[in-house]
Structure 1
Amino acid sequence: MVKRVSMKAADCPVARSLDVIGDWWSLLIVRDAFDGVRRFGEFQKSLGISKGILTSRLLALVEFGVLAVEPASDGSAWQNYVLTPKGEGLFPMIVALRQWGEVFCYEKGEAHSILIERKTGKSLAPLRVRSSSGRVLDARDTLVKKIS
């Protein structure tokens, strides 16, 4: 197996972000946490993941502060994994991946899930990158600037 290279010291925010949540299991754990999954067994059942992989991903997400461990609210010996503010900050990324998948990963008419607004029951508008003044931007409108 190829050893994973750490991107912790990279000068690129995308690389550092991927170092924390760049594997699919971590992203799916975060997705499930947004959907209300809290306990180890619930994550395992939802994802069909091995205990070892789930344990390592949960530990890493807790270590980086994406998830926190709390005692179960029902007073049992179980513990809950809950999103922290850092984890909740991943919501736009999860929505962006979902919306991209809805457009590019399904054949016309193929069944899939959609994300709807709880209050209205309607689909969300597509996410757009905007300038500080609100103008919609695409990749040609941006550039990477190194800061020190």
Structure 2
Amino acid sequence: MSVEVGAKYKGKITGITKFGAFVDLGEKQNGLVHISEVSNDYVNDIHDVLSVGDEVTVKVLSISEDGKIALSIRRCLEPKKETTPAKKDAMKKKAPMNKRKKQVDFESLMSDFLKTSEENLSSLRRNTEGKRGGRGGRRS
């Protein structure tokens, strides 16, 4: 049996490590399923999902020049169904940000900016000038 990239095969888990699982594809062909390719969900411990002897369907991701076969269980699984369609509908109903706020012209924006900027600077000056050794402080 010749293994081809992109093809799906049935295999048996022959070994498990902390970084993945080795799968026997038959006819002395072995491949590795990396832990990131085991499930659509986050897998902290691969032993929670797989065990030695399990029959799995895998997809061949790549075959390196030295014959190592990269496999994926995750890509054989059906896509995850969306569990909260109501949330998306609620997001669509909200008006865009620019339509919710009243129209503001450049002059009013600039005056607000200058006002808050001046308040921040005066507060900063008040707090630093009276202290010893502060930058820009008065010396007697």
TM-score, length of structure 1 as denominator length: 0.23
Which is bigger in relative contact order (C-alpha 8 A, separation at least 6)? 2
Higher strand share: 2
TM-score, length of structure 2 as denominator length: 0.24
- The structure with the largest alpha-carbon Rg is 2
